[in-house]
Amino acid sequence: MRATPCPSHATQHVKLTIATADTSRLIRAALRGLRRICRPGFQYKKTGILFLDLAPAAAVQGSLFLRPDPPERVRLMAIVDQLNARHGRDRVRFAASRP
């Protein structure tokens, strides 16, 4: 049985409830969007994720009801960035972001 070719394009908008710099939260949001797009029986060759409305953390207004990234996650992301800066791009990355 041959897989049906994928439609020429598919898009899905995923809105984050609160701004984040936590890679794991961004990956989860991207995967939610992909699950809505992917259809069984279609053969996919390539896909991409585009994050919109990115802003520096200092420019994001807080929320009374939603919690921002916890300090330990902010520190973890900083350590990952430092390691990659010191040892080369993508030396430390999340398993879900494999090449």
| Residue at 85 is within a domain | yes
Provide the 10 A C-beta neighbour count for residue 10. 15
List the domain range (segments joined by +) for residue 48: 10-53+66-97
Is residue 21 a part of any domain in this protein? yes
Note the pLDDT tens digit of each residue in 38-50.
878 877 777 777 8
Specify if 33 maps to a domain: yes
Residue 5 has pLDDT above 60, yes or no: no
The domain total for the chain is 1
Looking at residue 90, the DSSP 8-state letter turns out to be: T
In whole angstroms, what is the distance from residue 80 CA to residue 37 CA?
30
The amino acid sitting at 36 is: R
Q: Assess if residue 20 is contained within a domain.
A: yes
| Residue 59 domain-assigned (yes or no) | no
Asked if residue 15 belongs to a domain, the reply is: yes
pLDDT tens by residue, 49-86: 788 888 777 777 778 888 888 899 999 999 999 999 99
